[in-house]
Structure 1
Amino acid sequence: MNKYVLACGICLVSTATMAELNVNVTRQENSQVTTAPVIAQEQNTATNVTTAAATDTVQTTTLEQGFSSPVVAEPVIQPASKLETGEENLTKRILGLNYTHDSKPFIAFAEAGIFGFGGGVGFSVNPYIDLTAGFNKGSWKDVEFASFELMDGTKYKMDIDTDVKSFYANIRPFAGKFHVTLGMVNQDNKIKGSLEPNEDNALFGTAEYVFDDATFDANKVGKVYGSLHYEKKTMPYIGIGWSPALTSRFGLTTQIGALYAGKPTIELYPENGNLAVQDKDHTTTLGAALEAEKESFKSNLEWFPVAKLGLWLRF
């Protein structure tokens, strides 16, 4: 009986041992398959624990200091935009170009000078270049003045009609008041007049004309008529100017320069039509002297002088 009981005990122990071994092997195989998810789960669990611990710590600290509300992070305040604060833009665009907010690129001007009275408009491309378009017109009748050679007793009368349209570029090399002007002018100017003995010059005896350094008796010649005009209608212009500002909107402008007009067409002829009158020294005739005088005028008037003064307004 005892042997039978002992044998049964040994069988039970052996069976239990083998079952335990099988369970351990199964656990090892399952652990190899589930190691990565378990580790990730453990890491998440650790993070949650840490976060919870930190939250508990903050809440505990807050309660210890006597605050009843939880800690809330302050919002970041963004600076207001220029439009919200009403600040003006630093730049603006006009005709596709950038300008500072206080720029006044448009120009209007009025002027007076050799070509008469006129005005125009302009536009500043940048601080260095202004583009302008203008006109001048004038008419003077019976303009009278005496000869600089008072001994010849000559009196001049002239009728002057001017009609000028200009297109200029004012170049400011220093972005200041001084500028160099280049451009083109379209003109239709006409000058005509007469020369006659000066009645007020009787003190000096018989009035005389001097043509081509030859002296003629004015009483024998009578009046001498003349005219001047340029065949060339469009002419290049070059000049310099000074345009100081009086205020932020108003200023002065001065300019001197010259047109390259080419040789003008000049007519000179005596009132009585007698070109055969001899000079006092009998060295030449009136006709020859007047022809020489015309050629001298033509050479001296290829460049036509320009001078003007005016006011400008910027907006």
Structure 2
Amino acid sequence: MKSVHKILAISVLAAAASSAMAADEVIVTDEGVASFSFFKPAAVRAEVGTTGYGGAISWNVNPYVGVTLGYNGGDISWSDDLSINGSKYDLDMDNKLAYLNAEIRPWANWFYMAAGVGYIDNDYDIDRRVRNGENFSVNGVDFVSTSDARINGQLSYKNDLAPYVGIGFSPAITNRWGVFGEVGAYYNGNPNVNLTATGTARPENTGVVADFADQVEREQDNIRNDNEYEWLPVAKLGVSFRF
């Protein structure tokens, strides 16, 4: 599966590069023949979202196609917790993501569809603390802690090329300033994940036979193999300045 999404990423990158190579074109105007330059119009933008904060530079190849190169990073999240198989963990995020997208505007207006590739190196430190006597769930099994318990570890999308698809809008406010928003997802395959259990707990239902540490390990394995975590969702907003 990893090899499949790498092939997809390379294919998308090649398509974006092909669009960029077709940048310069001859245009017939009322005054005669002119050249449309790859570097005009150009824009820069600042953005913030689920993959961190950062910026990008864009070139409009023509009114229908643009190419954007950007970077997102930093420790940022819209929520202080992460839900995994119904278990909520405290989340500490560290993003490192570089991307190259082709933006297709089918009606040459503010709406666009994005396809591209990202180089992802994202880390998520996850932590869950349970007080003595507290009820909680791990891997769908209900437990009661018999001491202060903790589940902590790391989930990461590391050092990999991932294809991307998304949709967005970028209306202009003035002839130079604009805003934009975008939602999409990277297909990166299952993340690396390691969870460690400390403390003790017993099943809430006396008729259930289950071990706390064993269920934490099973939850770890489920995350590694669940299709739900193969996709890295993206949502971001920003402002742009056109030259």
- Quickly name the TM-score band, shorter chain normalised: 0.7 to 0.9
Amino acid at match of 1:159: D
Q: How many corresponding residue pairs? A: 208
From 155, 176, 179, the equivalent of 2:112 is: 179
From 173, 177, 187, the equivalent of 1:260 is: 187
Structure that is richer in strand per residue: 2
For the pair shown, which has the larger CA radius of gyration, 1 or 2? Answer: 1
Report the equivalent of 1:120.
56
Provide, for residues 14-37 of structure 1, a one-character-per-residue CA deviation record: whole Å limited to 9, x for no partner.
xxxxxxxxxxxxxxxxxxxxxxxx
From 200, 217, 233, the equivalent of 2:144 is: 217
1:198 CA drift (Å): 6.1
Higher relative contact order (CA 8 A, sep 6+): 2
Does the 8 Å CA contact 1:212/1:292 hold for their aligned counterparts?
A: yes
Report the equivalent of 2:67.
131
What CA RMSD, in Å, does the superposition of the two structures yield over aligned residues? 2.9
1:212 CA drift (Å): 2.0
Matching of residues 201-216 of structure 1 within 5 Å: 206-216=133-143
Structure that is richer in helix per residue: 1
Distance in 2, Cα, partners of 1:213 & 1:295: 14
Report the equivalent of 1:7.
none
State TM-score, norm by structure 2.
Answer: 0.75
Is 1:93 aligned to 2:26, yes or no? no
Does the 8 Å CA contact 1:232/1:261 hold for their aligned counterparts?
A: no
- CA 1:145–1:158 in structure 2 vs 1: closer, same or farther (change >3 Å)? closer
Report the equivalent of 2:3.
none
Distance in 1, Cα, partners of 2:156 & 2:70: 22
Identity %: 30
Is 1:279 aligned to 2:190, yes or no? no
- Unpaired runs of at least 5, structure 2: 1-29
Report the equivalent of 2:237.
309
Provide, for residues 118-177 of structure 1, a one-character-per-residue CA deviation record: whole Å limited to 9, x for no partner.
111111010000001000111259x845989xxx9x874332110110100000111111
1:231 CA drift (Å): 4.2
Distance in 2, Cα, partners of 1:159 & 1:197: 18
SS of the residue 2:147 aligns to: helix
1:96 CA drift (Å): 6.9
Distance in 2, Cα, partners of 1:271 & 1:135: 37
- Unpaired runs of at least 5, structure 1: 1-87, 98-103, 200-205
